[in-house]
Structure 1
């Protein structure tokens, strides 16, 4: 069965600049939004507040709603009900990926309301992509939904993201790196010769080359509060280039094996405090074992060491897994409709088990001992 090939390339409008939030009132007016729901995280709001305008001075009513913590069906439903009860004209999402994904889901499902996104972290491409990653209320991944239209506006204030937690930024770099490795096999093995797939391929290449070249400098600059060109390039790669891979490539540029491994291990409570991108980084290594790309793993090893990224079960507090528990993770990785089935190889649960065990052996031989990767 051929893969889906529909382009959902970008937000309708994207602005990344100092004082970007100053455009918010005019942007809402241009969309005939007079009453807006403002969904935000508590810490995110504290970081963004010095730069946010007072919309009431522009005649725009704001319905303030605090995010409950997970992009779950119950949270999406709660936000939708408030939107209906308050009769808003649009929704603003301010925060990290789960806040933005909840705003996108609620805005679309409530009746295709205009969605305005203000990312406060660059930990993933949630601000760019027209989809939401869904979780249970307890934090286990349950898949994703793709929407037929993009967000109306994305405003990026670099100073807010520069002041965000460093570990989230590192996780974003790891998640961005996965865009290359997950799309590589798909895009090199397709017989399709379409311009959009070439764009997807080049975007994926940037997701590999920019982090490998500039991430160390960018993270050092972020640690020192320096708004450098290298940091801006890596930050926008996390948000923009990673979103363009799937935007142009659709299922040819979607997450595959690495994210399926991530989805499976999120069910383990021992992993809940590890960020999304950290678990995806482990999934990249499992995928590379399945593809037998040992040289590429060796190439990545110094990068992984620099940022304390996991390559073994012990790194994710899973060293004590029994064979039965490992099999459960493998079965979950290849469950029906799992992303891994987009991969050109016909990967079985046994393939996943074998890959994890081979990776354990490889990690041991490389004497890779990391610090507490939950606090890079």
Structure 2
């Protein structure tokens, strides 16, 4: 089977890089339109306008109405085509970014992504998650190419809430373990081929970066400062995780996350927080070594990621309550079937229950298996 890697055409990251936004965008178009929520607009409009001073006609800002829905995509598409926009800039978090990618696709113009948080790997991917106008998941829109430009200003990222960066680490944490599962099984990834050595190496670098710099990055964001550790983790959360999940593959961790979204108690938790528990569950499902599980538990605890169901808000962690989660995770189309062995509902249920128990042991005693 072929090996495939997909990635954004250009990725730029650093403190203050938005000052060179105009220079980068003018290579793609001459009539830019930007979309952002009102709260994000208030934070970046002056900086964006300054960075786009090379465009005599300036930049047209349009309000993003907070849901990546077909209604919003069609509304913004109409505005962009009406003004003759030839390059679209999406600013903000995952939903604004996904909307921008979809609008640019239907307008047949390049898209520039400017994330203001590092809690998701959406900035680099060739997919948009579509919701209803009420915020209920609807479908995935798979795009023919990745963004033309991703610009990550770490000065802006450092001003975001600490929990968002940590949630991004939870999402990135799964990257290596899921890529490893797909590498072993030889299953097809989102990129349309097998996991290549390059994608696997990027996924492993993502994990090692989190272990070495995760806590330091969290402390930097807590003080709203940019540090070398923060730069490294932002790159891991955004680029390494983004390329890693698309070209390395998804497996049990994200499938279990999808199951957890069905529990009302989890609705207030971020994607990456649920993925972190899914990663622990995947390690139990594949009978990983205690040393590896201990390493992941220690990392999660150090940065503040949940290691128990209770920390996700789930008070009833019984087998009966979790059975629907396991059933959803094992749905026919789910990525859990990218594991290198057949997966059953009972096996997933057992893995989640054991992960929760190990998480409580580690949290309460600082040890599992008799080792610190």
Counterpart for residue 7 of structure 1: 5
Matches within 5 A, 1:41-80: 41-54=37-50, 55=52, 58-60=55-57, 62-80=59-77
State the secondary structure of the residue aligned to 1:113.
Answer: coil
1:17 lines up with 2:19 in the alignment: no
Counterpart for residue 152 of structure 2: 156
Counterpart for residue 275 of structure 2: 280
- 1:259-284 CA-partner distances (Å, limit 9, x unpaired): 11112222333222211111110110
Q: In structure 1, what is the Cα distance between the partners aligned to 2:307 and 2:118?
A: 23
- Structure 1 residues 184 and 141 mapped into 2: Cα distance closer, same or farther (>3 Å)? farther
Tell me if structure 2 keeps the 8 A contact 1:256–1:339.
yes
Q: In structure 2, what is the Cα distance between the partners aligned to 1:57 and 1:42?
A: 24
Q: Following TM superposition, by how much is the alpha carbon of 1:132 offset from its aligned partner in structure 2, in angstroms?
A: 2.1
1:335 to 328, 331, 338: 331
Matches within 5 A, 1:240-279: 240-246=239-245, 250=247, 253-279=248-274
- Structure 1 residues 79 and 345 mapped into 2: Cα distance closer, same or farther (>3 Å)? farther
TM-score w.r.t. length of structure 1: 0.86
State the secondary structure of the residue aligned to 2:44.
Answer: helix
1:235 lines up with 2:234 in the alignment: yes
Tell me if structure 2 keeps the 8 A contact 1:121–1:161.
yes
1:185 lines up with 2:181 in the alignment: yes
Moved more, 85-94 or 116-125: 85-94
1:168 to 164, 169, 191: 164
Aligned length: 360
Q: In structure 2, what is the Cα distance between the partners aligned to 1:340 and 1:226?
A: 38
Counterpart for residue 222 of structure 2: 223
1:361 lines up with 2:360 in the alignment: no
1:289 to 266, 284, 304: 284
Counterpart for residue 112 of structure 2: 116
TM-score w.r.t. length of structure 2: 0.87
Q: In structure 1, what is the Cα distance between the partners aligned to 2:136 and 2:116?
A: 23
Q: Quote the RMSD (CA, aligned, Å).
A: 2.8
Counterpart for residue 347 of structure 2: 351
- Structure 1 residues 138 and 267 mapped into 2: Cα distance closer, same or farther (>3 Å)? farther
Tell me if structure 2 keeps the 8 A contact 1:140–1:267.
no
Q: Following TM superposition, by how much is the alpha carbon of 1:136 offset from its aligned partner in structure 2, in angstroms?
A: 4.2
- Structure 1 residues 140 and 333 mapped into 2: Cα distance closer, same or farther (>3 Å)? farther
Tell me if structure 1 keeps the 8 A contact 2:29–2:87.
no
Counterpart for residue 373 of structure 1: none
Counterpart for residue 133 of structure 1: 129
Unpaired segments ≥5 residues, structure 1: 371-376
The structure 1 segments of at least 4 consecutive aligned residues displaced by more than 6 Å after TM superposition are none
- 1:154-183 CA-partner distances (Å, limit 9, x unpaired): 222221111111111011111111101111
- 1:104-156 CA-partner distances (Å, limit 9, x unpaired): 12211x14321011111111222222222344444454553332212121222
Q: Following TM superposition, by how much is the alpha carbon of 1:303 offset from its aligned partner in structure 2, in angstroms?
A: 1.4
Tell me if structure 2 keeps the 8 A contact 1:290–1:351.
yes
- 1:223-263 CA-partner distances (Å, limit 9, x unpaired): 2233221211111121111123245xx3xx12221111112
Tell me if structure 2 keeps the 8 A contact 1:139–1:266.
no
Q: Following TM superposition, by how much is the alpha carbon of 1:316 offset from its aligned partner in structure 2, in angstroms?
A: 1.4
- Structure 1 residues 360 and 235 mapped into 2: Cα distance closer, same or farther (>3 Å)? closer
Moved more, 207-216 or 120-129: 120-129
Q: Following TM superposition, by how much is the alpha carbon of 1:59 offset from its aligned partner in structure 2, in angstroms?
A: 2.3
- 1:43-86 CA-partner distances (Å, limit 9, x unpaired): 32233234222547722354432222233344333333333444
Counterpart for residue 100 of structure 2: 103
Tell me if structure 2 keeps the 8 A contact 1:141–1:266.
no
